Amino acid sequence: MLPAAAFALATAGIAAAADGGFAPQHAHSPNVQHTNTAYWVIFVFASVIFVLVEGALVLFMVKYRGRGRPRTAEGAQVHGNTRLEVIWTVIPVLIIAAIGTVVFVELPKITPPAAAAADTEITVEGHQFYWQFDYPNGKKTIDTLYVPAGSEVRLTVVSGDVIHSFWVPQLAGKIQAIPGRINHTGFKVDRPGTYYGYCGLICGPFHAKMQTTVVALAADQYDAQFAQATTSAALGRTEFQGACATCHGMHGEGGYGPALSSSSLVTQKSALAAIVRNGRNLMPPVGDTWTNEQIDALVAYTKAHIYKGASSSGG
């Protein structure tokens, strides 16, 4: 009874977790559907084997317990059982064959769309500690990726500093963002909605803050909503939220990094560009790949909402 209670307590938090507990998150792309199929097949086999083995163990412990016999007394000896030995050899072979078949059928299907077949190709840049998305029309967004639902999206994944791991559980498995190397992943979102992702690899002290959101828009609404989400004002806000507020606080009040609300440097393009692109002291070069347009957007936002203790929350 005590072991059962301990097991229940140890697993209760996992089972009630917001991301699904023991189960993978619901698939909203073909690639994740293949992953989930393999998961459930392995899970079912493993669960059945666990119940059978542990059940037999408990049964034998009860049936063949000492019953007052002296510790030196030997129990009944069992000598060879060819049928039983064949059974417990053949069944595991069949189980492994079944699992192997599913794995080798499903997992090779998990591939990014070919460049020629992709409807949209977007570059994903991992930075400490945010994600930047570069679109074919030159627009950029921070931490939020906008895609048309029902379209093949091909992602080119790179890193500007250390190794990161781009992961949106409902749309795509983990793909490493490695400095000096180009990797590819992709997905086809089955319906409009908002899907949440993470950096799946510890990349520094604010790794847990490196989250992303994929917003899948209906095809007939994509152009208008994308244009609204990629204005200069929106870019400046998301740059501050993703690249600055992580360390300096949403209001510029200072968290890990120094306060920004009293520093006039945030209103000077040349000074802010030098710090963002090159870093300073413990601060990494969070914007070493940023364009002048990105710097302009950030300066405009900090002037309006951060400097001199502006009342805006950065929202």
Model confidence at 309: pLDDT above 60: no
Cα torsion through 46, 52, 54, 56, rounded to 10: -160
Tell me, what's the pLDDT at 161?
87
Average pLDDT rounded to a whole number, residues 97-109: 92
Tell me, what's the pLDDT at 267?
80
CATH homologous superfamily of 232-305 equals Cytochrome c-like domain (1.10.760.10)
Report the C-alpha gap between 252 and 296 in whole angstroms: 18
Average pLDDT rounded to a whole number, residues 163-173: 93
State CA 21 to chain mean position distance: 15
Q: In the chain, what are the domain boundaries? A: 23-63+80-110, 120-229, 232-305
Burial of 131 (0-12, 13-18, 19+ CB in 10 A): buried
Nearest Cα residue to 294 out of 246, 235, 237: 235
pLDDT band at 252 (very low <50, low <70, confident <90, very high): confident
Model confidence at 190: pLDDT above 50: yes
Report the C-alpha gap between 124 and 307 in whole angstroms: 30
Model confidence at 308: pLDDT above 70: no
Helix axes 292-305, 232-239, angle to 10 degrees: 80
Tell me, what's the pLDDT at 312?
42
pLDDT band at 152 (very low <50, low <70, confident <90, very high): very high
Average pLDDT, the chain: 86
Model confidence at 125: pLDDT above 90: yes
CA separation, residue 289 to residues 56, 134, 157 (Å): 61, 11, 14
Fold of 120-229: Immunoglobulin-like (2.60.40)
Nearest Cα residue to 182 out of 198, 193, 167, 166: 166
Helix axes 30-63, 82-106, angle to 10 degrees: 160
Query: What does the pLDDT look like over 28-87, one tens digit per residue?
Result: 999 999 999 999 999 999 999 999 999 999 998 888 777 777 778 777 777 778 888 899
pLDDT band at 313 (very low <50, low <70, confident <90, very high): very low
Model confidence at 20: pLDDT above 60: no
Average pLDDT rounded to a whole number, residues 108-129: 88
Tell me, what's the pLDDT at 4?
60
Model confidence at 183: pLDDT above 90: yes
Report the C-alpha gap between 102 and 42 in whole angstroms: 9
Mean pLDDT lowest among 120-134, 249-263, 299-313:
299-313
Tell me, what's the pLDDT at 14?
55
Model confidence at 211: pLDDT above 70: yes
Query: What does the pLDDT look like over 267-296, one tens digit per residue?
Result: 888 888 898 888 888 888 888 889 999 999
Take residue 224 and report the two structure tokens written for it: 């208008």
pTM comes to 0.81
CB atoms inside a 10 Å sphere around CB 2: 6
Tell me, what's the pLDDT at 16?
55
Same fold, 120-229 and 232-305: no
Residue 191: DSSP 8-state: S
Residue 283: DSSP 8-state: B
